[in-house]
């Protein structure tokens, strides 16, 4: 067990969506699968169980160790339409004002703190996340200034060096898919829809952004959508 822990070099935050799956594929360009630990969170969102299942399949596909961390109790105070007991997930474009209802306050801040603690425990000195330019408008803890600030916090909060890398910080989802296409990312295994249903709805902001990004790449999205 102890030996196994020592061989991880990088912790990848793997939600089971397009962005983090592409980050994992990119990471495998520079690391052996055994050096990578993929981490997913169960925090209580409507789509959480479906994205966790997707993350597990993607980790298996790439033969990397996968850990699911349960933090739904921590998030039980959160008021967001994304959460299981929140209001309906808004439909329409991702940039619509209504999408702000799906913001989960402090989610990335809390995720990064846990990822850093895991990295420290596993002797890894690198954390990788799939935050991207499309997140900046509504998620404050996905913006470049936040990533820069939290990097500074980690430098003082841990004795060892823990570096954060967000390779798609300035890219949009269609650019991420273009990269993923070259890397052969199995997008048929990914989960994006925010709704509490197995089959993607095709109408929520998250589905709409995904469909537009595939269309811009002239690729047909390989997942199933409800009629």
| Positions that interact with Zn ion (CB under 5 A) | 193, 195, 201, 204, 207
Q: State the nearest-atom distance from the C-beta of 11 to Zn ion, in Å.
A: 28
Hey, how many other C-beta atoms are within 10 angstroms of the C-beta on 121? Answer: 11
Structure tokens at 93: 């474009």
Nearer to Zn ion, 141 or 209 (CB): 209
Nearer to Zn ion, 34 or 224 (CB): 224
Nearer to Zn ion, 65 or 91 (CB): 91
Structure tokens at 27: 């990471």
Hey, how many other C-beta atoms are within 10 angstroms of the C-beta on 224? Answer: 11
Nearer to Zn ion, 11 or 207 (CB): 207
Q: Are 18 and 173 in contact (CB under 8 A)?
A: yes
Q: State the nearest-atom distance from the C-beta of 195 to Zn ion, in Å.
A: 5
Taking the C-alpha atoms of 193, 51, 187 and 12 in order, what is their torsion angle to the nearest 10 degrees? 130
Hey, how many other C-beta atoms are within 10 angstroms of the C-beta on 203? Answer: 17
Q: Are 177 and 141 in contact (CB under 8 A)?
A: no
Q: State the nearest-atom distance from the C-beta of 170 to Zn ion, in Å.
A: 26
Hey, how many other C-beta atoms are within 10 angstroms of the C-beta on 47? Answer: 25
Nearer to Zn ion, 82 or 169 (CB): 82
Q: Which of 141, 120, 218 is nearest to 177 (CA)?
A: 218
Q: Are 45 and 17 in contact (CB under 8 A)?
A: no
Q: State the nearest-atom distance from the C-beta of 180 to Zn ion, in Å.
A: 20
Nearer to Zn ion, 35 or 53 (CB): 53
Distance CA 210, CA 226 (A): 15
Q: State the nearest-atom distance from the C-beta of 141 to Zn ion, in Å.
A: 23
């Amino acid at each position: 067990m102890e030996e196994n822990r020592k061989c991880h070099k990088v912790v990848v935050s793997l939600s089971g969506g397009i962005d983090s799956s592409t980050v994992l594929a990119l990471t495998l360009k520079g690391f052996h699968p055994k050096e990578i630990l993929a981490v997913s969170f169960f925090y209580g969102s409507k789509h959480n169980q479906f994205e966790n299942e997707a993350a597990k399949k993607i980790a298996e596909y790439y033969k990397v160790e996968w850990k699911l961390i349960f933090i739904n109790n921590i998030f039980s105070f959160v008021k967001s339409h994304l959460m299981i007991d929140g209001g309906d997930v808004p439909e329409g474009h991702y940039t619509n004002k209504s999408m702000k209802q799906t913001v989960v306050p402090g989610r990335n801040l809390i995720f990064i703190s846990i990822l850093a603690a895991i990295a420290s425990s596993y002797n890894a000195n690198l954390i990788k996340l799939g935050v991207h330019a499309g997140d900046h408008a509504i998620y404050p803890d996905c913006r470049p200034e936040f990533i820069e600030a939290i990097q500074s916090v980690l430098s003082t909060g841990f004795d060892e060096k823990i570096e954060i890398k967000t390779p798609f910080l300035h890219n949009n989802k269609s650019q991420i898919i273009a990269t993923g296409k070259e890397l052969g990312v199995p997008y048929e295994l990914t989960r994006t829809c925010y709704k509490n249903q197995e089959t993607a709805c095709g109408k929520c902001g998250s589905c709409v952004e995904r469909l537009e990004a595939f269309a811009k790449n002239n690729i047909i999205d390989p997942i199933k959508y409800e009629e």
